[in-house]
Structure 1
Amino acid sequence: MKQLLALVLIILSVPSFASKSEDLPENRPNRKAKTLTVMTYNIHHCNPPSAGTKIDVDAIARVITKEKPDFVALQEVDVNTERSGKGRHQAQELARLTGMHFFFSKAIDHQGGDYGVAVLSRFPILDSIRFALPVDPVLGGEPRTFAGVTAEIGRGKKVIFGSTHLDLKEPNRLTQSELIVKHFETSNLPLILGGDFNALPDSRVMQYLDQHFVRSCQTCAPTIPVNKPNRTIDFILYKPGDTIKTLSTKVIDEQYASDHLPVVVKLQVK
């Protein structure tokens, strides 16, 4: 009897290596991966093209709210301009209406106020950065800017999300793209960039950016004009590597709120 009891105790003390297949490391779900929904949207200073001079911030907010994004890259944002209303900060108002945080970066003075790009974030903004993008003085062009935020999307997991709007002239777009790449080339954080690049998918600008970023789609649906769109110039990009991968990309068929269609992308971030 004593020998039998001793044998039972020995068996109980030995760790069991027989486990369910789902408990094996190769079969466990990646609990560290997080799905993000991101959007880029040129909002035409919240002026629906079919509505004359009307400013309809609520219309843009409804488009954003319906998609429930974690981050939004906004272009053509007015702050305290005459056309949009003195004392009216469109990025701040959109943040309030969508329940998000915001960061605005001014590109130019406009009608007594500011005009530029912005970022909306579902997560608290830990840090922010803005910088001007170069314009060749000989070629001329409208000054452009970059807005970026750092946010913690999970415990100890941070990303940089940026918004930009490149110039209409290709040489300026190239130098502007080069500055963005250079600015973040030493960063170890995942970088996601949304914007109106004013560049077609096979342009020199996008070919250059393809050397440093991954597009969320290779055959991307048109984003402009909103009625019978025939050109793709709005994109979501991210730094290459095994940290981020695209789950889906779609262009929203919203023809009232702006003169661009918004792009919504689902990403998996490890």
Structure 2
Amino acid sequence: MRKLLTVLVGLLMVVPNVAAAQPEGGRPARPLTVMTYNIHHGAGIDGALDLERIAVLIETSGADVIGLQEVDRHWHVRSNWIDQPAWFAQRLKMHYAYAANLDLPPVNPGEPRRQYGTAILSKYPIKDFANTLLPKYPTGEQRGLAVASIKVRGADLRFANTHLTSNNNAERLEQAQKVVELLGTSKVSTLLVGDLNAEATAPEIKTLTAVLNDTWTEVGAGPGNTIEAGNPTKRIDFQLHSPGLRPTSATVPVTPASDHLPVVAAFTLR
């Protein structure tokens, strides 16, 4: 009898520990690697237009979902009139969605429209996508918030990508406030990535980090500076997340492929 009681007590001690080790709701945790990168229309600090080295960088990172900024689509001779988001999607065998924040008529009738904006690449199907234009001052350049709904091995992920204005603090603050309004308080696990053109102590960034966690401050090592790529002195590229994502690492790979450096982060998606 004493042996039986000992066994029963042991089982009671083990069961709670097993339950605690299970992810919330009994669902399996899902690893997710994410990159954000302002690609400067594919032009590096060496002046070379080279989409292939950006594609290799993405492959090497192992990123599952990528937010790109400053992406051309038939935009200009500077990028050889290439449809860059389609090129990356084909090269990397990924799904993609494109947000044209600037959308101009073609140079010649019958040619594609000239577009400039942000792109989302994903190893997983993009179920839904929308781009909302953000506040713009009279002398500003139109910016937007692109939001994709992605199903990651049975879990819902809301992935948002943006590029806030670079030259007006008040305009950028209004854009950040609009981003918070648009993202709202959804219970769906949410990632906001992008070139936010301000450092972590700026009011516009604090507006965002009041509702979303700054991945770099949680798991990054060092300053995490992303610009200028040859000698980075500022951290203006961010990955911000909701509680449904748990970050495990964050790095800033060194590359000459753009005037920015990318940010790559690993998460567990619950």
TM-score tier, shorter chain, comes to 0.7 to 0.9
- Aligned with 2:86 (options 92, 95, 111): 92
TM-score (norm 2): 0.85
* Secondary structure, aligned partner of 1:143: coil
Distance 1:20 1:129, change over 3 A: same
Match of 2:157 among 148, 154, 159: 159
2:67 matched to which residue of 1? 73
Question: Which residues of structure 2 form unaligned runs of 5+?
Answer: 1-9, 108-113
Secondary structure of 1:230 counterpart? coil
Displacement of 1:41: 0.2
How far apart, in 1, do the equivalents of 2:42 and 2:224 lie? 23
The 1:68/1:171 distance shift into structure 2, 3 A limit, reads same
Q: How does 1:2-81 map to 2 (within 5 A)?
A: 18=11, 21=14, 25-26=18-19, 28-30=21-23, 32-51=28-47, 54-81=48-75
Q: Give distance in 2, aligned partners of 1:67 and 1:231.
A: 22
Q: Taking structure 1 as reference, are residues 186 and 98 closer, same or farther at Cα in structure 2, changes over 3 Å only?
A: same
The offset of 1:264, in angstroms, is 0.3
Residue aligning to 1:194 = 193
* Higher alpha-carbon Rg: 1
Matched letter for residue 152 of structure 2:
I
Q: What do residues 33-58 of structure 1 show as CA deviations (whole Å, max 9, x unaligned)?
A: 1111001000000112313xx42111
Paired letter, 1:163: N
Matches within 5 A, 1:1-270: 18=11, 21=14, 25-26=18-19, 28-30=21-23, 32-51=28-47, 54-82=48-76, 83-86=78-81, 88-109=82-103, 112=107, 113-137=114-138, 140-155=139-154, 157-168=155-166, 169-218=168-217, 220-239=223-242, 241=243, 243-254=244-255, 256-270=256-270
Query: What is the CA–CA distance in structure 1 between the aligned matches of 2:52 and 2:19, rounded to whole Å?
Result: 47
- The answer to whether the 8 A contact 2:177-2:204 is kept is no
Instruction: Tell me which moved more, 257-266 or 110-119.
Output: 110-119
Q: For residue 266 of structure 1, what is the amino acid of its counterpart?
A: A
Q: CA deviation at 1:188?
A: 2.4
State the shift of 1:147 in Å: 1.4
5+ residue gaps, structure 1, are: 1-16
> What SS does the aligned partner of 1:201 have?
coil
Check conservation: 1:22, 1:28, Cα contact below 8 A.
Answer: no
Shift of 1:194: 0.7
Counting matched residue pairs gives 248
In 2, Cα distance between equivalents of 1:104 and 1:81: 13
- 1:131 maps to a residue whose letter is T
Q: 1:109 to 1:49 in 2, by over 3 A?
A: farther
Whole-angstrom distance in 2 between the partners of 1:190 and 1:198: 24
Kindly tell me: are residues 37 and 22 of structure 1, through their superposed partners in 2, closer, same or farther at Cα, counting changes over 3 Å? farther
Distance 1:98 1:19 in 2: 50
- 1:172 alignment partner AA: E
TM superposition score normalised by structure 1: 0.85
2:172 partner amino acid: R
Contact 1:21 1:27 in 2 (8 A): no
What's the offset of the Cα at 1:25? 3.2
